[in-house]
Amino acid sequence: MAVSFRPAVERAQPPKAPYRVVNQVMRWLLSSPRRAQQIGQHLLLLHLTGRRSGRRFVLPVAYHDAGDGRILVLTSSPWRANLRGRAEVEVTLLGERRPARAQLVEDPDQVAAVYLRLIVAAGRRRAGRRLGIRINVDRVPTPGELAEASRRDGLALIYLDVTR
């Protein structure tokens, strides 16, 4: 019998088909100040342009307060490559569209430190769902385990400096 090994932390991958519909609904909800009052406390719309294709993307993403006046977005999605270098983007925050500057952080040790801080703040049981990861151990993951997940699954941070 084959033994299955699961890493301590791994990226959670929601089903793609339902998320297409959910994202359309979220774009509509988050695009208006009135509709975004409740859900906009945790979600925003990120407007960015593909580096090579020039295609415009509008992505609903969860965000956190970075604690220094910036907004923090956690992702493992391939679109993050469009933000390498300090990219000019726009965000729709609480229904209001604003210019922003995005800084992508892919260094596994830096990513691990932020994930660890957020896991401790949210509590291990609730952190997985809030951070888009699956925690497969009955304790807070170590910085090494989180750095390994960052390397393996492409976990990254995006800091947004939003013009207010």
Of 83, 88, 84, nearest to 100 by C-alpha is: 88
Residue 8, in any domain of the structure = no
pLDDT at 1: 52
Residue 3, in any domain of the structure = no
Residues above pLDDT 70, as percent of the chain: 98
Residue 66 phi/psi, 5° resolution?
A: -75, -15
Number of domains in the chain: 1
Phi-psi region of 69 (alpha: psi -120 to 50; beta: other; left: phi over 0): left
pLDDT at 129: 85
CATH number at residue 62: 2.30.110
Residue 2, in any domain of the structure = no
Residue 133, in any domain of the structure = yes
pTM: 0.91
pLDDT at 18: 83
Cβ-count burial of 164 within 10 angstroms (0-12 exposed, 13-18 middle, 19+ buried)? exposed
Q: Could you tell me the residue range of the domain that residue 143 belongs to?
A: 13-162
Residue 62 phi/psi, 5° resolution?
A: -80, 150
Of 113, 151, 157, nearest to 132 by C-alpha is: 157
Give the model confidence (pLDDT) of 43-71 as tens digits: 999 999 998 888 999 999 999 999 999 99
Residue 116, in any domain of the structure = yes
Length of the chain: 164
What's the token pair of residue 75?
């992702």
Q: What band does 163 get if pLDDT is binned at 50, 70 and 90?
A: confident
Residue 4, in any domain of the structure = no
